[in-house]
Amino acid sequence: MANVVRGVSSPYGLHRVLEPAGVLPQQAWRLDPDPQPWPDEVVVDVERLNLDAASFRQLREQHGAGPAVRQAVLDIVAERGKMQNPVTGSGGMLLGTVRAAGPESPLGLTAGDRIATLVSLTLTPLRLEDGLERWDGATEQVPCRGTAVLFARSIAAVLPGDVPDAQALAVLDVCGAPALTDRLVREHGGTPSVCVLGGGGKSGSLSLAAARRAGAGRLVGVVPTEAEAARLRAAGLADQVAVADARDPVGLAAAVGEPADVTVVCVDVPGCEHGAILSTADSGTVAFFSMATSFSAAALGAEGLAADLRLLIGNGYVPGHAAFALDLFRAEPGVRALFEARS
Amino acid sequence: MANVVRGVSSPYGLHRVLEPAGVLPQQAWRLDPDPQPWPDEVVVDVERLNLDAASFRQLREQHGAGPAVRQAVLDIVAERGKMQNPVTGSGGMLLGTVRAAGPESPLGLTAGDRIATLVSLTLTPLRLEDGLERWDGATEQVPCRGTAVLFARSIAAVLPGDVPDAQALAVLDVCGAPALTDRLVREHGGTPSVCVLGGGGKSGSLSLAAARRAGAGRLVGVVPTEAEAARLRAAGLADQVAVADARDPVGLAAAVGEPADVTVVCVDVPGCEHGAILSTADSGTVAFFSMATSFSAAALGAEGLAADLRLLIGNGYVPGHAAFALDLFRAEPGVRALFEARS
């Protein structure tokens, strides 16, 4: 047993991998969810799981609602020691309270802290103890009782006292996009123009606010409908609000007008790569934050258009991203209004 | 007919799109291959097509070798006005001689230049005129007679007189990787360490040579076998040659040792994202040049490992990339030796 003979723990959680040996926890079939923390780990009393939307949809389609979907989640967690949907490969995040932090944990958490995990459930050791009796299987919000483990390199955010849980979670879920937007604008120097595809959404509105605060010049928000355009105009986050289908490269480029120095893609539908490339100025940057992005469509699209652009895979981790996004949310009434319109 | 009533041409070739209207040539079902150039176009007498490996494999699997696969290619080009495999979506490149350049073409080509196209066949208007009678269907090299069209924003390289066609094409095919590696090392400043996964291959060996020339510090080449390691050591392109399976993150990181400031992924197999991330130093850069890269594996992998890295989609276009790669090939005996071992 892992808690009888103990070797050296790994900041990436390699010591929790039971099967197959030697892979990272995210690739593992089975993790050891033992709630006894290693010296650099944190153990959390779990209060709620937020299943990834794609995972929840698949489970509902396969099992229907109610007891069957509940049993499916229980079976996955019992077998794998983590809530990673074996069909979609995706997970979600969790809410809970720190039970114990090992003496060598670098996460800065102490017993009693209410936290949300910012690393995926796909790599988080998890044990459920209540049979999910309070979950009706109707939504991806799963109230539960159980334990989870955070490694030295895991990321968790202490939930703020002044923002309701649901809103804080929604902000934390997309906090990588505004943090990277901030960095791109500052790295660029001067007053780069920034275009956000999906500027009326959660990650999009935060990215617009981040760009403004970082000193961007002209700010363009692109949305798919007039109704969303009206809301984004009212929110005051962009200098120019354009209505266009981001999957239509020619229409999108026409709607944006002068190409932007930095384009941030926050539209979660496939097929936006070429439009983003075509609406970005030479030597500019496109940051893709949509999980629907196709690597090859982006790479070949830029080559086919002879576009000398820097194409970034939106990395969900930037140091300080959680506090930064919550701060934008608190400070910007326009962002809060758009979040409320979407909740 | 497009050549009767002519409007304004587009540098991206929108005026050649017949169906569906308004999309870019790469997304189009059908292009107009009329060999009459618009003022900003170049028309090429085609001498050879190089079908993309994935496309050729699919055609062979569906049609076998010989007359059936030949007819399949003829049918695709006749129907679509371009050689884009409808199953794989991929194309390839072509060799030919410039027949005519419109007075407004910015490509700097003149009649008689022997060229290779560096944009994909998936967006190149093409007409075949010889029934592919000289092609036996056995290899992806298709000798032919026909015409192709280059747009104002297309890219073509004049074939050098001093490098045999086959070698020049192999170099041009991967010329984006060394050009971007050069840029990344120079942007970094100082003497960044560079690790190239697949350092014994074509794009990998050119990338190692580019990194050295740009002033990189420690240079690591990772290869999958001892035989390749021996060849890469003999080529003298890396300070450290490591044998590892790039799909095994833990094994790869151990083989690389001290994480690199810049990691270039030139391994064309799926599943190398996490290894690349794990072997790259904090605040470093990973450039993915493999078309087998999974966008979501890279994005979620970095987040799951709390890795503050810049993740780049390897854009195949960097201004000057063709001449730069040919120059490296000429100047570096080690690169030439590795190309010869692979041909």
Summarize pLDDT for A258-297 with one digit per residue, the tens: 999 999 999 988 899 999 999 999 999 999 998 889 998 8
Question: How many other CB atoms sit within 10 Å of the CB of residue B168?
Answer: 23
How much is the mean pLDDT over chain A? Answer: 93
* pLDDT over 70 at B3, yes or no: no
Residue-wise pLDDT tens digits, B221-256: 999 999 999 999 999 999 999 999 999 999 999 999
| Chain B residues closer than 8 Å to A22 by CB | 248, 250-251
d(CA A126, CA A77): 7
Look up tokens 């490296």; give the residue.
Answer: B328
Nearest to A113 by CA among A42, A174, A35: A42
Amino acid at A258: E
d(CA A44, CA A117): 10
Q: Min CA distance, B219 vs chain A (Å)? A: 24
User: Is residue B63 exposed (0-12), middle (13-18) or buried (19+ Cβ within 10 Å)?
Assistant: middle
Percentage of residues in chain B having pLDDT higher than 90: 80
* End-to-end CA, chain A: 45
Residue-wise pLDDT tens digits, A63-109: 987 899 999 999 999 999 999 999 988 899 999 999 999 999 999 99
Identify the closest residue of chain B to A119 by CA–CA distance.
B304
Largest CA distance in chain A: 65
Residue-wise pLDDT tens digits, A209-231: 999 999 999 999 999 999 999 99
Mean pLDDT of A179-183: 97
Best CATH choice for the domain B14-162 from the list 3.10.450, 3.90.180, 3.10.620, 3.90.120:
3.90.180
Instruction: Answer whether B299 sits within 8 Å of A318, measured CB to CB.
Output: no
Cβ contact B124:B150 at 8 Å:
yes
DSSP B13: -
| Architecture in CATH for domain A176-342 | 3-Layer(aba) Sandwich (3.40)
Q: What is the ipTM of this complex?
A: 0.89
Mean pLDDT of A39-51: 96
Nearest to B308 among A118, A314, A317 (CB): A317
| Chain B residues closer than 8 Å to A274 by CB | 24, 26-27
Residue-wise pLDDT tens digits, B280-308: 999 999 999 988 899 988 998 898 889 99
pLDDT of B7 reads 65
Nearest to A318 among B308, B318, B319 (CB): B308
pLDDT of A268 reads 82
Residue-wise pLDDT tens digits, A221-257: 999 999 999 999 999 999 999 999 999 999 999 999 9
* pLDDT over 70 at A323, yes or no: yes
Instruction: Answer whether B301 sits within 8 Å of A26, measured CB to CB.
Output: yes
| A6: confidence class by pLDDT, cuts 50, 70, 90 | low
* pLDDT over 90 at A21, yes or no: no
Best probe of the B interface among A153, A180, A187, A300, by most B CBs < 10 A, is A300
| A5: confidence class by pLDDT, cuts 50, 70, 90 | very low
In total, the C-beta contacts within 8 angstroms joining chain A to chain B are 152
| Chain B residues closer than 8 Å to A300 by CB | 26, 120, 122, 316
Instruction: Answer whether A123 sits within 8 Å of B304, measured CB to CB.
Output: yes
Question: What is the DSSP secondary-structure string of B46-59?
Answer: EEEEEE-HHHHHHH
Greater model confidence, B268 or B31: B31
Q: Phi then psi for A48, rounded to 5 degrees? A: -160, 140
Q: Phi then psi for B312, rounded to 5 degrees? A: -110, 135
Mean pLDDT of B27-39: 96
| Chain B residues closer than 8 Å to A313 by CB | 288, 295, 298-299, 302, 311-313
Instruction: Answer whether B317 sits within 8 Å of A307, measured CB to CB.
Output: yes
Cβ contact B335:B177 at 8 Å:
no
Nearest to A313 among B278, B295, B317 (CB): B295
What residues have CB less than 8 Å from A225, skipping those under 6 apart?
A243
* pLDDT over 70 at A204, yes or no: yes
Domain locations along chain A: 14-162, 176-342
Best probe of the A interface among B317, B318, B321, B324, by most A CBs < 10 A, is B317
For B46, the token pair is 């085609």
pLDDT of B6 reads 52
| Crossing angle between the packed helical segments A321-331 and A333-342, to the nearest 10 degrees | 100
